[in-house]
Structure 1
């Protein structure tokens, strides 16, 4: 009987050692930032949008997953003030662009993660904006309790066609480029 208990205990210890549980780290949305830049023929606009929630998943201190919800009504320009700020923000939140009344959140869900070394990972994720989901690929760097990334998003893949020369002719200097840039700094 004593040998049976010893074998059972050894088996339990072996299983515990073999099973490495994932650790989910919740993102601190009050300390995390998403900055955007949208460019047009005659210049550019920049701004921010807030995270509603997010988490990164680690196994043996290696990034293995992540998911995020973006609070789209917080979308705002940071390079304008007064009347022009109100006009641009109103247009960005309108159906021509992000339709934040109808689509108050966007999501990003990591699908594959490949380590590149030096705490850098290549991630392919599903990005959903305006109920349209497309893959995006980017590198993310994890250092301590911070993760950073920057990548481009083709807005036309999410049915945001306003001012796009890909869909409208004769726009001239009113053309807005299809890609916008995101720079993300996550604290967890």
Structure 2
């Protein structure tokens, strides 16, 4: 009996430090699926005369969340769903919508989807997450980071934030000061950066 007890104590002495260093098992990551009906994306583009805004739909999405950070995921945007909301006149509204879909802007016939692939996240300011990923528009992929406020309760999660996009990186150069003399554009100048304000609702 004494020999057995000594053996057990020796075994524990050998492996207890390893077990202690290992710590408790990591919390498993849960897969969340985006509810496309409850989620919303508002686009805003500014020009020297003011600009326009509207909405665009998420077609699908999912990501992994461990209670603190988002480790991976992807979101698909239906580019043909782009709509203008600040113009009341039906004719002007239709013209601008069609212009956004043509080759001056998003070429939606050739590139019907945009994609955000999330590669990781880390704690940011004011309790937000700083999310990193790759954004693809018109077949061009560029790295991007943006903050998001995460509210998780039970099996549902809500992420709210704003993504700023430099359109020049994606080959959208129409009326841009980066490729044309601003003085020649006069009051037709469109600023290079547009924003996507999003509210993404997802569930386990």
TM-score past 0.5 threshold: yes
Q: Which residue of 2 aligns with 1:50?
A: 57
Q: Aligned to 1:18, what secondary structure does the other structure show?
A: coil
CA distances 1:69-108 after superposition (whole Å, capped 9, x unpaired): 0000000110113000000000000011000000000000
Equivalent of residue 176 in structure 1, options 174, 179, 190:
190
Pair 60,39 (structure 1): closer, same or farther in 2 beyond 3 Å: closer
Pair 142,70 (structure 1): closer, same or farther in 2 beyond 3 Å: same
Q: State which drifts further: 30-39 or 53-62.
A: 53-62
Instruction: Please give the root-mean-square deviation of Cα atoms over the aligned residues, in Å.
Output: 1.7
Q: How many residues align?
A: 173
Q: Aligned to 1:88, what secondary structure does the other structure show?
A: helix
Once the two structures are TM-superposed, the CA of residue 45 in structure 1 deviates from its matched residue by 0.1
Which has more strand, going by share of residues?
1
Q: Aligned to 1:92, what secondary structure does the other structure show?
A: helix
Q: Which residue of 2 aligns with 1:167?
A: 179
Question: Using the alignment, how far apart are the partners of 1:124 and 1:178 within structure 2?
Answer: 21
Q: Aligned to 1:66, what secondary structure does the other structure show?
A: strand
Question: Using the alignment, how far apart are the partners of 1:65 and 1:85 within structure 2?
Answer: 37
Q: Does 1:29 align with 2:36?
A: yes
Question: Using the alignment, how far apart are the partners of 1:123 and 1:65 within structure 2?
Answer: 10
Q: In the alignment, is the contact (CA less than 8 A) between 1:113 and 1:122 conserved in 2? A: yes
Q: In the alignment, is the contact (CA less than 8 A) between 1:119 and 1:143 conserved in 2? A: no
Segments of 5+ residues of structure 1 without an aligned counterpart are 1-13
Query: What TM-score results when the alignment is normalised by the length of structure 2?
Result: 0.80
Query: What TM-score results when the alignment is normalised by the length of structure 1?
Result: 0.86
Question: Using the alignment, how far apart are the partners of 1:95 and 1:57 within structure 2?
Answer: 35
Q: In the alignment, is the contact (CA less than 8 A) between 1:106 and 1:127 conserved in 2? A: yes
Q: In the alignment, is the contact (CA less than 8 A) between 2:29 and 2:65 conserved in 1? A: yes
Q: In the alignment, is the contact (CA less than 8 A) between 2:56 and 2:82 conserved in 1? A: yes
Equivalent of residue 157 in structure 1, options 151, 154, 169:
169
Segments of 5+ residues of structure 2 without an aligned counterpart are 1-18
Q: Aligned to 1:89, what secondary structure does the other structure show?
A: helix
